[in-house]
Amino acid sequence: MPVAPARAEPLSHDIADVDLVELYFERGWTDGLPVVPPTREKVDAVVAALGGDPGYVECKVAPRWGSLTREVLAVNMVMAGCRPEYAPVVRAAMLALTDPAFNLNGVQATTHVAAPLVVVNGPIARAIGMNGGANAFGSGNRANATIGRAIRLVMLNVGGGRAPDLDKCTLGNPAKYTYCICENEEASPLAPYQVEHGYAPDQSTVFAIAAEAPHSVTDHHCNDPEGILDTMCSAMSTIASNTAVLSGHCAVALGLEHARTIARHGWTRNDIKSYLWLNSGNRFDAHSRGHRYGKVYNRNLPKWYKREPDSRIPIVESPERIHLFVVGGHAGRFSAFIPGWGHMSTPVLRPIDGTALTSDGECADGMCKL
């Protein structure tokens, strides 16, 4: 399909005449923060890192369905402050977000606070200096911050997801500026996430989930898996989250101290996820408010759930729908629960730059790959 390259409009011949930072604000092309004004040289360097061919359409971005050519992706990456070597990660993230299963149209338009959380695994995270350690979800790391910001700029500019028009989000969420981390694989006592899912440890992946912000889980005194995970279950077992009402998927960011205590007892990823699944959730009576506002069935929950007042309604349909990552710094007995948007969006895990999936079908827990 022929698509025109990004429009590069010549202005003045004297840079002193133009305040480019203000001009990008005036055009409505920023996320509310100043952007790095793209230059021909910077854009071309990112296009080269993407494999050249600036007019190649990587994907179309809902709900505006703008064409994301490599050149347009490069423009947004430069604006976000990305280095060219981040390009494979940003591209893989956009391909994950535009996978039909992810339902980016709905994620962009929803009144809910959901934002795509992107988690990077594998050697590329280390190669480009991403942070999965102390303050991983916070500020201070260029790769985390600008990769997440580039994704958001593409969602805003190419996808047209601007509030209050095509983004109908009621409250917003700070994660709608940037929401990208890597797993702390070097310090984690567990298998990395991508290995659990059948990739080799030297393969790099992106994982994208439409999610709320991290909800802190504080547990300073439990010294065994059951105690720590019961605290996590407490955070998971609310009727207020979209995950509770609409099922789907959720994520758990297990802090290092918690992860080490749990691993010392010989627990694996599968043990952790199964325990969390079995011991979280709500009674149906809490969901239906005792039918105070009329008879409630809730068609958004799986049809095989029993709907009697005392029936347990799991927080998600199966342990596999709890996506577990080990994240954070060495000190602090904190973890986080990250509710999802609901069953309307399926998280996507995909390789970065075509690394192949090599599942042997016999490694349910991932540890055998290490």
Q: How far apart are CA 205 and CA 176, in angstroms?
A: 22
Among positions 25, 56, 67, 126, the unique one binding another protein when judged by CB under 8 A: 67
Q: How far apart are CA 281 and CA 238, in angstroms?
A: 7
Asked if residue 186 lies in contact with residue 201, where contact means CB atoms within 8 angstroms, the answer is no
Of residues 158-217, those binding another protein (CB under 8 A): 158, 160, 164-169
Task: Kindly state the smallest distance separating residue 213's Cβ from another protein, in Å.
Answer: 18
Compute the half-sphere exposure of residue 202: CA atoms within 13 Å on the CB side of its CA.
0
Q: Under the criterion CB under 8 A, does residue 53 sit at the interface with another protein?
A: no
Q: Under the criterion CB under 8 A, does residue 157 sit at the interface with another protein?
A: yes
Stretch of 4-12, 179-187, 257-265, 317-325 contacting another protein, by CB under 8 A: 4-12
Whole-number CA gyration radius for the chain:
21
Q: How far apart are CA 289 and CA 339, in angstroms?
A: 21
Q: Under the criterion CB under 8 A, does residue 4 sit at the interface with another protein?
A: yes
Identity (one letter) of the amino acid at 48? A
Task: Kindly state the smallest distance separating residue 72's Cβ from another protein, in Å.
Answer: 4
Q: Work out the number of other CB atoms within 10 angstroms of the CB of residue 183.
A: 27
Q: Under the criterion CB under 8 A, does residue 23 sit at the interface with another protein?
A: yes
Q: How far apart are CA 337 and CA 209, in angstroms?
A: 13
Look up tokens 């080490």; give the residue. 260
Stretch of 68-76, 225-233, 256-264, 361-369 contacting another protein, by CB under 8 A: 68-76
Q: Under the criterion CB under 8 A, does residue 311 sit at the interface with another protein?
A: no
Q: How long is the chain?
A: 370
Torsion 36-38-41-47 (CA) sign: positive
Q: How far apart are CA 145 and CA 148, in angstroms?
A: 5
Per-residue x/- track, 89-128, another protein (CB under 8 A)? --------------x-xxx-xxxx----------------
Q: Under the criterion CB under 8 A, does residue 316 sit at the interface with another protein?
A: no
Q: Under the criterion CB under 8 A, does residue 40 sit at the interface with another protein?
A: yes
Task: Kindly state the smallest distance separating residue 111's Cβ from another protein, in Å.
Answer: 5
Q: Under the criterion CB under 8 A, does residue 295 sit at the interface with another protein?
A: no
Q: Under the criterion CB under 8 A, does residue 343 sit at the interface with another protein?
A: yes
Q: Under the criterion CB under 8 A, does residue 291 sit at the interface with another protein?
A: no
Q: Under the criterion CB under 8 A, does residue 79 sit at the interface with another protein?
A: yes
Q: How far apart are CA 345 and CA 246, in angstroms?
A: 10
Q: Under the criterion CB under 8 A, does residue 269 sit at the interface with another protein?
A: no
Residue with Cβ nearer another protein (4 or 356): 4
Element (H, E) at 182: strand 180-182
Asked if residue 178 lies in contact with residue 97, where contact means CB atoms within 8 angstroms, the answer is no
Site size toward another protein (CB under 8 A) is 60
Among positions 14, 202, 308, 362, the unique one binding another protein when judged by CB under 8 A: 14
Q: How far is CA 281 from the centre of its chain?
A: 23
Residue with Cβ nearer another protein (160 or 332): 160
Strands 312-313 and 66-69, sheet pairing: unpaired
CB neighbours of 187 closer than 8 A, spacing ≥ 6? 133, 256, 326, 330
- Name the residues that contact another protein, by CB under 8 A: 1, 3-4, 6-15, 17-18, 20, 23, 27, 29, 38-40, 43, 60-61, 63-69, 72, 75-76, 79, 103, 105-107, 109-112, 153, 157-158, 160, 164-169, 299-300, 342-345
